[in-house]
Structure 1
Amino acid sequence: MPFVLLALAIAFEVTATLSMRASDGFTKPGPAVVVVAGYVISFFFLAKALTSLNVGPVYAIWSALGTIGAFVGGVLLFGEQVRPLTIAGAVIIVVGVIVINLGGGVHQG
């Protein structure tokens, strides 16, 4: 169950981040409301997941998958460019998360 909560936290964080771009500097109220609600809900689910998972690896997973989700969403929704260096950066993020998880594991105890 904690991994479901983590997945929900990531999904809401990515939605909020992409909505921030869509809000056009918070000049569009609809996307601006999604930004605020998305981050609040994301942090709620993240806090719930952290009741039974280790904070370091979980935060690494949350931030890495959120970053990659925002990157992919930016490409698909806003036509942002994909360059070899950005792909290399995404790979480095994923490798970093794997290394963190190998070092300590995700579950408490």
Structure 2
Amino acid sequence: MITKDEILNLENTLYGAIKNNDTEILDNLLHTDLLFVVPSGQTITKEIDLQTYREGNLKVEEIISKVEELNIIADLAVIVLQMDLKGDYNNKPFEAKYRYIRFWKEFPDGIKVVGGSGMAI
């Protein structure tokens, strides 16, 4: 059974991996069949997400998150957060507030992100 503390710890690990451009940790946290709708409206896969970091197209300097909701449903966790992000995308600086929903699911090899979405607010 997944706990709220586990999900909050995984979220913090995810933020650290994003800020440090750590594709190894991201690879471990994201499920192979991940589908995620990014703020532009595009649906991306795990490989597209990892490629963005590998190529250095996205650099996040600051992540400030505020959890709005966190529900545990058996082996699935649904988290809704507000995030203030500051960084650089394709060499263009950005600073914006987003709302994200992320779905974490428990597997034999750990809890992984299986889907989610983000939008500017």
Fold shared, TM-score > 0.5 on shorter chain: no
Specify the TM-score bucket, using the shorter chain as the normaliser.
Answer: 0.3 to 0.5
Looking at secondary structure, tell me which structure has more strand per residue: 2
Looking at secondary structure, tell me which structure has more helix per residue: 1
Relative contact order, higher structure (CA 8 A, sep 6+): 1
Instruction: Give the structure-1-normalised TM-score.
Output: 0.34
Bigger radius of gyration: 1
Instruction: Give the structure-2-normalised TM-score.
Output: 0.31
